[in-house]
Amino acid sequence: MFRTRIQPWLPLLALLALLGVTAAAYLPGLGGPFLLDDWGTLPKLGAYGPVDNPLTLVSYLTSGNAGPTGRPLALASFLIDARNWPAPPWPFKFTNLLIHLFNGILLAFLLLRLSRTRGLDPPRAAWAGVLGAGLWLLHPLFVSTTLYVVQRMAELAATFVFAGLLAWLAGRERLARGRTRSGYALMLSGLLGGTFLGVLAKENAVLLPLLTLVLEATVLAAPAAHQPAPTRPWFGFRLLFLGLPAALVGAYLLGLLRHASRIIPFRGISIAERLLTEPRVLTHYLYLLVIPHVATGGLFTTPAPSRGWFEPWSTLPAIVLILGLIAFAWRTRRRWPALAAAILFYFAGQLLESTTIPLELYFEHRNYLPAALLFWPLGLWLVRSPGAGPRLRTGLAVGTLALLAGLTALRADLWGNRTLLLLSWMRQDPNSSRAIVRGTQTLVEQGHPLAALAILRRDSARLPEDISIGLMRLSTACALGRATPADLAAARRAAVTSRAGSSLIYQAVQRLERQMARHRCAPFDTADMLALARAALANPNFSHDPALRQEFTILEGRLYLDAGNIPAAYEHFAAALPLYVKPDVALVTASLLGAADAPRRGLALLNEYRQLHPLPPRGWTMRRLHRWWLERSGWYRDSFRHVRRLLESSARKPA
């Protein structure tokens, strides 16, 4: 299989076969549901009407709130699958699969070029590239990237990083052959184009210069690599376009250490604690990459944060392991450059999402790009190992690929079944509030509400500071007509002491408010729900956030509205307006008053908003551009006119 006399088209045929096997393995998962952040991103397809004209197109493309760029390129890609909302998940997941397959092709050619720098002849280099890419394509860990629709962002960022690296290698070869102008132009276009387009899909593409620098320090520094002449322009070019961007990213990440002891809003931990926790997270990622699993904690994995060097005990050993791997790779970069490149590429690729930026602690899709080179050393060993015969190496390669394909098919089948998936996540991570809440919701949907309530009561006693579990317990008890004072007390205790999840508090109390409006939370009344909302507002971990204070003030107004107390509702809505001046808040609260047969109060609220001055979002972010566009295009003006016209029409009617 790996002998040089084999026809050169056989690796290409093998790559096509691997693409087919990958597609077949993923097929059972394409019928799965939307999950988690999908619901925060995809409904924007219909937020401004069907995306079928330039006005709604720009409104949609600027509506992203993930990161400072808003990731408009990823948003644009969703238009392939739907131009309005709601929409079925199958087309989105199918497009994600196609992108994954295309990334596998790019990676195969990237590894082929890198293998040539190791002195391999073209057939062996092609086999090494195909095997390295095939192992990555078929790894079951990446099911949670490919079948999680919104992580098309991570897929597209990897696409442009791979394309940028390929352009760099091609330009480098031209430079080594003396084609200076076209070589520099190709390398520069790959770096700038790959970084710019990749960042518009997801910000971790900004690591492209650093990842290129990793290759320059390892496999591209080896004697067998195509080496451009060591001239001053060559050193200056790498310093300016690789070293400087990498240094700027490092400086930005280090700058966040100024706030190392400050509690991260909505996370319940500090940046210092996050830095202590991430080595444990990275160690777990590596474990899942080396020993593939069908079932993992998935999207709801919530590792316990490290509060000290030995709290938990695995914190320091994980730090030592990570630092040891990096030191080993650096020391052996001359002797084993491919292995060193794989290790350093992995940790460099994790730099943005696994250090000081205050993101969630754990998400499996963060391995998608960083792990791209991890299986390449195995591919190299299989094609060039002198200690193993061709049949043994062929058997090892085919057996490993078949094993991964089987595990991926089983994992994709799990992801295609919403009920089994959510219950599996609840079993896998019994300390994850998200997994518990979603799992018990599934039990209720499957006709087992009493079992769900028993789990929630047990887990809220076990995790008394977890607000989402406490509120889900109360909500479920209300829905069953079995709410007790102990359920309310548990929710209030968690609301006062919780360090994280304020947005979950608001969503859960909103759910309780709807139950109150339908008189489905006996024996509790509006006063009890108001006390619960005020207990959350009194929590010192949340009181600094004006947007959250505004949301809870509006929620109090809605509770008064449900109780028929129009003056108190109006008072709270009016008090909410200046807390965080946004036109959306005025439109929603005025509409609520109109729907409650209080149109004159709604008109008065709009008049009060006229006296305020909306504040644009901080910094030059996509959110600010989006606000500017909605104002410039007249969307807000037309919305206010429409709401005012409805309220005036209603006010003219007899009571």
Cα–Cα distance measured from residue 18 to residue 137, given in angstroms and rounded to the nearest whole number: 8
**Orientation of helix 122-137 relative to helix 9-26, angle to 10°:** 0
pLDDT bin (cut points 50, 70, 90) of residue 517 is: low
pLDDT over 60 (residue 2): no
pLDDT of residue 430: 83
Residue-wise pLDDT tens digits, 115-130 = 988 888 888 889 999 9
Residue 648 located in a structural domain:
no
Do 351 and 440 lie in one domain? The reply is: no
pLDDT of residue 549: 77
pLDDT of residue 628: 81
Cα–Cα distance measured from residue 609 to residue 102, given in angstroms and rounded to the nearest whole number: 51
Contacts of 384 (CB under 8 A, 6+ apart): 2, 120, 124, 128
Q: Which of 415, 444, 474 is where one domain is finished?
A: 415
**Orientation of helix 376-384 relative to helix 390-415, angle to 10°:** 150
Higher pLDDT, 349 or 564: 349
Q: Which of 530, 443, 519 is nearest to 479 (CA)?
A: 519
Q: Is the separation of the CB atoms in 115 and 125 below 8 Å? A: yes
Contacts of 503 (CB under 8 A, 6+ apart): 266, 548
Residue 57 located in a structural domain:
no
Do 455 and 400 lie in one domain? The reply is: no
Question: Which of 30-44, 62-76, 541-555 bottoms out in mean pLDDT, i.e. has the lowest?
Answer: 541-555
Task: Report, as an integer, the average pLDDT of 25-38.
Answer: 92
pLDDT of residue 623: 80
Q: What is the mean pLDDT of the chain?
A: 87
Do 14 and 158 lie in one domain? The reply is: yes
Do 411 and 436 lie in one domain? The reply is: no
pLDDT over 60 (residue 271): yes
Residue 180 located in a structural domain:
yes
Residue 624 located in a structural domain:
no
Cα–Cα distance measured from residue 501 to residue 503, given in angstroms and rounded to the nearest whole number: 5
pLDDT of residue 4: 44
pLDDT over 60 (residue 480): yes
Q: Which of 217, 206, 166, 210 is nearest to 189 (CA)?
A: 166
628 token code pair:
């500017």
3-state secondary structure 65-112: CCCCCCCHHHHHHHCCCCCCCCCCCHHHHHHHHHHHHHHHHHHHHHHH
Do 254 and 297 lie in one domain? The reply is: yes
Cα–Cα distance measured from residue 486 to residue 328, given in angstroms and rounded to the nearest whole number: 55
Residue-wise pLDDT tens digits, 600-609 = 998 888 888 8
Do 442 and 484 lie in one domain? The reply is: yes
Q: Is the separation of the CB atoms in 150 and 41 below 8 Å? A: yes
Residue 584 located in a structural domain:
no
Do 129 and 203 lie in one domain? The reply is: yes
Residue-wise pLDDT tens digits, 575-594 = 888 887 888 888 989 998 88
Identity of the residue numbered 136 = W
Q: Is the separation of the CB atoms in 110 and 125 below 8 Å? A: no
pLDDT over 70 (residue 500): no
Higher pLDDT, 164 or 517: 164
pLDDT over 90 (residue 247): yes
pLDDT over 70 (residue 399): yes
Residue 50 located in a structural domain:
no
Residue 27 located in a structural domain:
yes
90 token code pair:
């199958």
Angstrom CA distances, 428 to 171, 179, 268, 302, 363, stand at 47, 56, 22, 11, 15
Range of the domain at 237: 9-33+89-258+268-415
Residue 620 located in a structural domain:
no
Q: Which of 544, 574, 591 is where one domain is finished?
A: 544
Q: Which of 358, 383, 415 is where one domain is finished?
A: 415
Do 409 and 437 lie in one domain? The reply is: no
Domain count, the chain: 2
Residue-wise pLDDT tens digits, 93-108 = 999 999 999 999 999 9
pLDDT of residue 321: 96
Identity of the residue numbered 611 = Q
Computed on alpha carbons and rounded to an integer, the radius of gyration of the chain in Å comes to 28
Residue-wise pLDDT tens digits, 401-460 = 999 999 999 999 999 998 888 888 888 888 888 888 888 888 888 888 889 889 999 988
Do 320 and 407 lie in one domain? The reply is: yes
Do 409 and 449 lie in one domain? The reply is: no
Cα–Cα distance measured from residue 467 to residue 500, given in angstroms and rounded to the nearest whole number: 8
CB atoms within 10 A of CB 595: 13
| Residues 639, 642, 646, 648, CA torsion sign | positive
pLDDT over 80 (residue 541): no
Do 405 and 448 lie in one domain? The reply is: no
pLDDT of residue 225: 60
Percent pLDDT > 90 in the chain is 42
Angstrom CA distances, 45 to 32, 97, 447, stand at 20, 21, 33
- Longest CA span, the chain: 94
Please give the angle made by the CA atoms of 432, 437 and 440, to the nearest 5 degrees.
120
DSSP 455: H
Identity of the residue numbered 303 = P
CATH code, domain carrying 445: 1.25.40
Do 434 and 518 lie in one domain? The reply is: yes
SS3 335: coil
pLDDT bin (cut points 50, 70, 90) of residue 114 is: very high
